[in-house]
């Protein structure tokens, strides 16, 4: 089967790419759901009770759309989780402009998301309104995030620390989970695929007049034993010990009570438990003696939050209380240097926010947030060692949003932030958009620009990990800016943005001896300049398409001090920053009905192109550009039953996303869904 699919890829590649390019070049009105329009020429609506997670879009008609407003942002359709063969949320975010997804190996391996050429630690991830970046690593591993229980995904790009705090240099990914109020959204599915993959999931709701309960559960297995070619002098071979077993359970108990004509209470309890066990063979970069057939990683991530709010027609008071726990056991008793390490981390925090409609065109926001984390690092090579590390942060946010009847939308904010062990900092931001064409909120053109200061506090690994931490680190600080335009006609919806960031106190792991040991240091500066583009159809018909493109002409390391090897990296390209990323999707719907907008089937092709990048700071390991092609076919086989067949990486590209970690070639999956 694998050989047949690879052979088919060679014959179909030219046609596939041609279809994508023709779709982009013609730029005609091939349909789908309407995109968000530029700022409407009307005053903002009065503040009501907080909205629950928006009802998910039609299962097979959604696509990435640009958000209207002063800041660049995108709404990601939940339908894409299925048709793009997504195993994680990160798999879908690859098709959003300005987003880069990195995965260290096959399914179950670490997967991170970064925005606008900044690092994954400089990208903040929010789940149901609160941060979920791990306290010890500073990043969010998307293999531990819920998938089946997701209701909405929103990407906001640019410096947003003035509103969200540490880590929001490149931007923010906001994820909300499903509520029982989503109504008849019960479903179950089973999926089989390449390398012994099996996945199954189910979601059920029970709702009453004032609230309800929503539960989503998911499990996945994969063997992941595969052959891989040699690369850059590294010998090829057979990849074993890459298996995966993962489960995820998401629960939301949600209640709403009306106490008057315009007074409403909301209470939401969110619980998520994600567990996994994976084989960890390691990188092949240092030779076969460092690749293990027995290394294992066991992980359990628990996320819990209580969201409370009280809203009227002119004000909204809300509070979020959260407690997260993470246990990571990493061990191997067989190599030359046996190890058995355990990391446990607990994060606690709360935020209280007040939103007031101060006038017809003004909304004033104030928020106080405090969070703390404690991590236990236990066990190093040979000698068990135990270190307890702590950190805490407090933040005060003040903001004003203005929207006039003339199409002017402005956003100004400032945050006062203090992280334990560092000086307090003040972070301002300004954003402005102006409608310059069009006579209504449906069609027209808006221009926008923003400026912001942002920061990232060092994580606990960087500060205190036994033998490899540097407690003298200071936060990274960045200046970010962008300017863009969004336009919508009766044919296309398009958004284009030029952006940049300049970072000081950049934290980089540098060698400290000839044994390969590293320590993190604040070494200097980094500069990123880029532009992105999203173009897609507006009309309503059987054929739909979209193109997302991002270029990073500048992604420079401006550090001036030489490392232990005497290498000065000034002017080098930043680690894992590709020159360009391109995503193209073309859909053809069968059994299509415009009213209501439904389809009994769908065929589609998606193309993802990643430009060249470097796998090390010294720019000695070049990862060449590559393109992957995916195909899917979906059919309704009964009134409440659908079948999806998906083939990924038709081109058979074996270029690793991370140097030293082989990747799969062509794969396939078959999914049966009942709704």
pLDDT in tens, 289-341: 778 889 999 999 999 999 999 999 899 999 999 999 999 999 987 766 778 88
405 pLDDT higher than 70: yes
Q: How much of the chain, in percent, has pLDDT values that exceed 70?
A: 87
Domains of the chain: 2-213+405-674 (2.40.170.20)
Which pLDDT score, from 0 to 100, does residue 29 have? 25
Which pLDDT score, from 0 to 100, does residue 518 have? 78
Which comes out higher in pLDDT, residue 427 or 183? 427
Residue closest to 495 by CA, chosen among 34, 67, 195, 209: 67
Q: What element of type H or E holds 436?
A: strand 425-437
The tens digit of pLDDT for each residue in 205-237 reads 988 878 899 999 999 999 989 999 988 888 889
491 pLDDT higher than 90: no
Q: State phi, psi for 541 to the nearest 5 degrees.
A: -155, -170
Whether the Cβ atoms of residue 457 and residue 393 lie closer than 8 Å to each other: yes
Question: Residue 362 is encoded by which pair of tokens?
Answer: 């003004």
15 pLDDT higher than 50: no
Whether the Cβ atoms of residue 654 and residue 228 lie closer than 8 Å to each other: yes
DSSP conformational letter for 459: P
Cis bond leading into 596, ω under 30°? Answer: yes
For residue 135, the number of C-alpha atoms closer than 13 Å in the C-beta half-sphere is: 28
Q: How confident is the model at residue 183 (pLDDT cuts 50, 70, 90)?
A: low
Which pLDDT score, from 0 to 100, does residue 564 have? 63
Residue closest to 53 by CA, chosen among 221, 226, 266, 241: 266
Separation of alpha carbons 78 and 61, rounded Å: 10
DSSP string, 307-368: EEEEE-SSEEEEEEEEEEEEEEEEEESSSSS-EEEEEEEEEEEEEEEEEEE-SSSEEEEEEE
Separation of alpha carbons 122 and 161, rounded Å: 10
Q: Strands 123-127 and 171-177, how do they pair? A: parallel
3-state secondary structure at position 109:
coil
For residue 521, the number of C-alpha atoms closer than 13 Å in the C-beta half-sphere is: 13
Tell me the β-bridge partners of 100: 114
Residue closest to 106 by CA, chosen among 192, 173, 190, 196: 196
Question: Residue 99 is encoded by which pair of tokens?
Answer: 């987003």
User: Average pLDDT in the 438-455 region?
Assistant: 83
The tens digit of pLDDT for each residue in 625-650 reads 999 999 999 999 998 899 999 999 99
Question: Residue 19 is encoded by which pair of tokens?
Answer: 């279809």
Q: Match 């446990």 to its residue by tokens.
A: 344
Which pLDDT score, from 0 to 100, does residue 216 have? 94
The tens digit of pLDDT for each residue in 115-161 reads 999 999 999 999 999 999 999 999 999 999 988 889 889 999 999 99
Question: Residue 216 is encoded by which pair of tokens?
Answer: 């989503």
Separation of alpha carbons 417 and 478, rounded Å: 14
Residue closest to 262 by CA, chosen among 195, 307, 312, 321: 312
258 pLDDT higher than 80: no
24 pLDDT higher than 50: no
Q: What element of type H or E holds 2?
A: helix 2-26
The tens digit of pLDDT for each residue in 49-91 reads 333 333 333 333 456 878 778 999 999 888 777 777 788 899 8
DSSP conformational letter for 144: G
Contacts 24+ apart (CB under 8 A), 292-295: 292/241, 292/332, 292/334, 292/335, 293/240, 293/241, 293/334, 294/241, 294/332, 294/333, 294/334, 295/241, 295/330, 295/331, 295/332, 295/335
Whether the Cβ atoms of residue 216 and residue 148 lie closer than 8 Å to each other: yes
Within 10 angstroms of residue 51's Cβ, the number of other Cβ atoms is: 9
Write out 471-496 in H/E/C secondary structure.
CCCCCEEEEEEEEEEEEECCCEEEEE
Which pLDDT score, from 0 to 100, does residue 85 have? 75
Which pLDDT score, from 0 to 100, does residue 539 have? 63
Which pLDDT score, from 0 to 100, does residue 442 have? 61
Separation of alpha carbons 373 and 461, rounded Å: 12
Compute the Cα dihedral for 165, 166, 170, 172 and give only its sign: negative
* Per-chain mean pLDDT for the chain: 84
């Amino acid at each position: 089967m694998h050989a047949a699919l690879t052979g088919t890829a060679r014959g179909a590649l030219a046609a596939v790419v041609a279809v994508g390019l023709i779709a982009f070049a013609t730029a005609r009105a091939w349909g789908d759901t309407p995109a968000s329009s530029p700022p409407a020429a009307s005053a903002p609506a009065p503040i009501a009770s907080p909205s629950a997670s928006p009802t998910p879009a039609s299962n097979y008609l959604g696509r990435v759309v640009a958000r209207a407003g002063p800041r660049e942002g995108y709404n990601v359709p939940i339908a894409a989780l299925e048709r793009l063969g997504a195993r994680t949320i990160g798999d879908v975010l690859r098709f959003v402009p300005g987003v880069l997804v990195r995965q260290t190996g096959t399914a179950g391996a670490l997967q991170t998301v970064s925005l606008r050429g900044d690092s994954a630690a400089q990208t903040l991830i929010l789940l149901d309104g609160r941060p979920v970046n791990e306290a010890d690593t500073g990043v969010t591993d998307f293999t531990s995030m819920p998938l089946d229980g997701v209701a909405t995904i929103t990407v906001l790009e640019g410096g947003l620390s003035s509103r969200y705090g540490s880590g929001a240099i490149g931007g923010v990914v906001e994820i909300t989970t499903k509520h029982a109020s989503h109504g008849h959204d019960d479903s179950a599915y089973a999926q089989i695929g390449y390398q012994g993959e099996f996945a199954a999931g189910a979601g059920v709701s029970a709702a009453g007049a004032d609230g309800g309960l929503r539960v989503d559960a998911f499990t996945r297995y994969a063997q992941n034993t595969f052959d891989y070619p040699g690369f850059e002098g590294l010998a090829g071979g057979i990849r074993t010990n890459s298996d995966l077993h993962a489960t995820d359970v998401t629960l939301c108990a949600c209640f709403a009570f009306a106490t008057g004509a315009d007074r409403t209470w909301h209470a939401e309890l969110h619980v998520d438990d994600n567990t996994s066990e994976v084989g960890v063979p390691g990188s092949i970069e240092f030779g076969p003696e460092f690749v293990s057939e027995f290394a294992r990683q066991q992980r359990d991530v628990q996320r819990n939050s209580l969201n409370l709010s009280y809203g009227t027609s002119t004000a909204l008071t809300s509070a979020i209380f959260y407690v997260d726990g993470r246990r990571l056991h990493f061990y191997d008793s067989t190599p030359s240097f046996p190890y058995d390490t355990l990391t446990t981390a607990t994060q606690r925090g709360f935020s209280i926010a007040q939103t007031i409609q101060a006038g017809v065109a003004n909304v004033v926001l104030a928020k106080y947030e405090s969070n703390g984390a404690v991590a236990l690092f236990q066990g190093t090579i040979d000698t068990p060692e135990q270190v307890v590390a702590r950190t805490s942060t407090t933040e005060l946010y003040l903001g004003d949003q203005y929207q006039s009847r003339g199409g002017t939308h402005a956003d100004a904010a400032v945050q006062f932030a203090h992280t334990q062990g560092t000086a307090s900092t003040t972070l301002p931001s300004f954003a402005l958009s102006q409608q310059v064409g069009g006579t209504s909120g449906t069609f027209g053109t808006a221009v926008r620009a923003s400026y912001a200061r942002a920061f990232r506090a060092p994580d606990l690994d960087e500060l205190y990990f036994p033998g490899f931490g540097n407690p003298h680190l200071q936060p990274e600080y960045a200046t970010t800016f962008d300017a863009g335009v969004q336009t919508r006609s009766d044919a296309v919806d398009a958004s284009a943005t030029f952006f940049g960031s300049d970072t000081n106190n950049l934290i980089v792991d540098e060698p400290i001896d000839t044994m390969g040991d590293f320590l993190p240091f604040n070494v200097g500066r980094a500069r990123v300049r880029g532009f992105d583009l999203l173009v897609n159809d507006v009309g309503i018909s059987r054929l739909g398409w979209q193109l997302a493109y991002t270029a990073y002409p500048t992604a420079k390391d401006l550090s001036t001090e030489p490392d232990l090897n005497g290498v000065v990296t000034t002017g080098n390209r930043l680690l894992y920053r590709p020159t360009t990323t391109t995503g193209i999707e073309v859909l053809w719907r069968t059994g299509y009905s415009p009213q209501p907008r439904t389809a009994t089937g769908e065929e589609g092709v998606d193309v993802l192109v990643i430009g060249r990048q470097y796998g090390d700071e010294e720019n000695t390991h070049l990862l060449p550009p590559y393109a992957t092609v995916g195909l899917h076919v979906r059919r309704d086989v009964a009134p409440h039953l659908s079948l999806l067949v998906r083939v990924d990486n038709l081109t058979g590209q074996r270029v690793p996303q991370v140097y030293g970690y082989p990747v799969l070639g062509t794969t396939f999956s078959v999914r049966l869904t009942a709704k």
